[in-house]
Structure 1
Amino acid sequence: TSESESFGLAALEAMACGIPVVSTDTGGLPEVNIHGVSGYLSQVGDTDGMASNALEILKDEATLSRFREGALEQAMRYDLRHVLPRYEAMYASVVEQVKA
């Protein structure tokens, strides 16, 4: 990932495919990639840490399996069926406030 990431769409797309993510802890990535659940977060520039994290996931089948499951669960939080009703409720609330 880059030094600044507004949301982390690429990470979310990977997680939706059951791929654990190794990313930086910058921008919106910590909201999408939960450290120790869907993958690992490292500080920007810590390439050794990122490589170590990737190897840790890949060398242990149980860790890989746990992170795959965590990645899929985390990605589902952003599924349209879950997100759209929240946006609709938020917009309805704003409309009601403007009417008042």
Structure 2
Amino acid sequence: MQEELIFIGNQVSCRYVSVSDVGTPLAITFQQRLPENVDKSINQLGFAQRFLEKIKINAFHVLIHENHWYQTGEIFECIEAIKKDPNTILLQEEFYMVHQWGRMLHYCL
């Protein structure tokens, strides 16, 4: 397993976690609202990170450093970093999207 921070901001960051070969499904997750006593640093786990690792799905995990519901200009910078990352070539193929509240794992084409 390899992890790489591809974007670090004051309010939002993004970590790419690779657990399998290129050409496998890819997820992009967004952290849910976090309780006050939870780690909000870049060291926090991404949403569904352990689950996706277990089922061998590579993922970009968008992390929040405060509860702002992504109403920050940094989210656009973060999305651009994901789009420019070489691993997003997988987005041209099939990928998985995890709902931010964790109620579904949705298959997308």
Determine if the TM-score, normalized by the shorter chain, exceeds 0.5: no
Instruction: Work out which structure has the larger RCO, using CA pairs closer than 8 Å and 6 or more positions apart in sequence.
Output: 2
TM-score, with structure 2 as normaliser:
0.29
Relative to its length, the structure with more helix (as a share) is 1
Relative to its length, the structure with more strand (as a share) is 2
TM-score, with structure 1 as normaliser:
0.30
